[in-house]
Amino acid sequence: MAEVPEVETIVRDLRSAVVGRSICGAEVLQPEAVRFPAPAEFAEILTKRQVLAADRRAKYILLPLSGDLLLAIHFMLWGTLTLTPRTAPRPDETLIVWHLDRDEELRLLDTLGYARAAVGEPADLAERLDLNALGPEALDPDFSVAVLARQLAKRRSAIKTVLLNQRVLAGLGNRDADESLWMAGIDPQRTAASLTDDELARLHDAICAVLEEGIELRGTQRDLFGVQGRAKHRRNIFERTRQPCPRCQTPIQHLKLGGRNTHYCPTCQH
DNA sequence: CGCTACCTGGGT
DNA sequence: ACCCAGGTAGCG
């Protein structure tokens, strides 16, 4: 599933294999997958455009196009992109297809069908997707302990829940939030505002380490070309309920926080 | 701020 | 035959 390491892996692949190329046209197979404009207009706008860059903001993929347009793609839980020859069989879960030059297709796939795309002028698209409300990027070089401390101050919800709010900090998903809190030795149920300076420093370092390792291993999913990422089995606690904590051997515990599955070590995390 | 709906496939 | 899923919008 798609957290930041998975999205970032695809963005880097887009940079190497799609940026600079032309979109000849688009085909919308699932109308619900287009947030805006209407599917027919979406396809119309996406004819004869050049892809100028590939960026990421939180879990959005942003593709600036010629003609002062921005294409945004969000994977939600299970979405992904593939780049394949036009003749390759199209999976049932194909939501949108972009026809590229050299007889290749960029395809948005999602068995759950939640993934979404939108296109518009950059300012309008940012407004409608509320991109300006997103918090600082955890992977930005400017992300510091001070930034983390400022963003968590006065937040009285559970730290785990706060870390998942992309308006507070852009970059953590459910797995990476659990893994970061385990690495920092912080109980996910603690209120965000209660963290000490020392805990904030540990959490900052843990967040950076977890995201960097996930990206280094190219995520847990297949990349743009179908190559499996190597992070799949690199989990310390996520979905390892009742298995021994890698640090102290205490069985990992599981609970729901804000409706989300949460995994932690009751001995290491306070 | 917390809860639910969204939807299909795979796990129990 | 049930659940349940790594995300988010939209609701109260």
- How do residues A140-182 score in pLDDT, each as one tens digit? 999 999 999 999 999 999 999 999 999 999 999 999 999 999 9
Distance CA A21, CA A173 (A): 31
Is there a single domain that holds both residue A52 and residue A77? yes
Is there a single domain that holds both residue A14 and residue A123? yes
Strand B contact at CB of residue A266, distance < 7 A? no
What sections of A63-186 are H helices per DSSP?
Answer: 122-129, 145-152, 159-164, 174-184
CA–C1' span, A221 to B6, in Å?
A: 23
Strand B contact at CB of residue A1, distance < 7 A? no
Whether the per-residue pLDDT at A232 is higher than 90: the answer is: no
Distance CA A21, CA A33 (A): 23
What confidence score (pLDDT) does residue A43 get?
A: 97
CA–C1' span, A66 to B10, in Å?
A: 41
Is there a single domain that holds both residue A92 and residue A23? yes
Is there a single domain that holds both residue A93 and residue A153? no
- Domain contains A250: yes
Is there a single domain that holds both residue A197 and residue A222? yes
Average pLDDT estimate for A6-11: 97
CA distances from A28 to A63, A147, A242, A270 (A): 18, 41, 44, 49
- Domain contains A138: no
- Domain contains A235: yes
Is there a single domain that holds both residue A122 and residue A176? no
CA–C1' span, A259 to B10, in Å?
A: 21
Is there a single domain that holds both residue A174 and residue A247? yes
Of A113, A133, A153, the domain-final residue? A133
Of A82, A98, A133, the domain-final residue? A133
- Domain contains A60: yes
- Domain contains A55: yes
- The answer to whether the beta carbons of residues A240 and A263 sit under 8 Å apart is yes
CA–C1' span, A95 to B12, in Å?
A: 30
Average pLDDT estimate for A128-147: 96
Strand B contact at CB of residue A112, distance < 7 A? yes
Is there a single domain that holds both residue A61 and residue A157? no
- Cα A215 to the center of its chain, rounded Å: 11
Is there a single domain that holds both residue A187 and residue A90? no
Q: How many domains does chain A have?
A: 2
Q: Which residues in window 153-172 of A are less than 7 A from strand B by Cβ?
A: 155-157, 161-162
Distance CA A96, CA A74 (A): 12
What confidence score (pLDDT) does residue A245 get?
A: 95
Average pLDDT across chain A, whole number:
96
Strand B contact at CB of residue A113, distance < 7 A? yes
Model pTM above 0.75: yes
- Domain contains A43: yes
CA–C1' span, A111 to C1, in Å?
A: 21
Residue-number span of the structural domain to which A42 is assigned: 4-133
Q: What is the CATH number of the domain that holds A126?
A: 3.20.190.10
The model's pLDDT over A16-75, given as tens digits with 9 standing for 90+, comes to 999 999 999 999 999 999 999 999 999 999 999 999 999 999 999 999 999 999 999 999
- The answer to whether the beta carbons of residues A16 and A43 sit under 8 Å apart is no
Residue with tokens 């983390």: A148
Percent of chain A whose predicted confidence (pLDDT) is above 90:
98
- Domain contains A140: no
Q: Residue A2: phi, psi to the nearest 5? A: -105, 100
CA–C1' span, A67 to B10, in Å?
A: 43
Give the helix/strand (H/E) hosting A83: strand A80-85
Q: What angle do CA A3, A78, A9 make, to 5 degrees?
A: 45
Is there a single domain that holds both residue A247 and residue A155? yes
What confidence score (pLDDT) does residue A149 get?
A: 97
Residues counted in chain A: 270
Q: What is the CATH number of the domain that holds A225?
A: 1.10.8.50
Strand B contact at CB of residue A111, distance < 7 A? yes
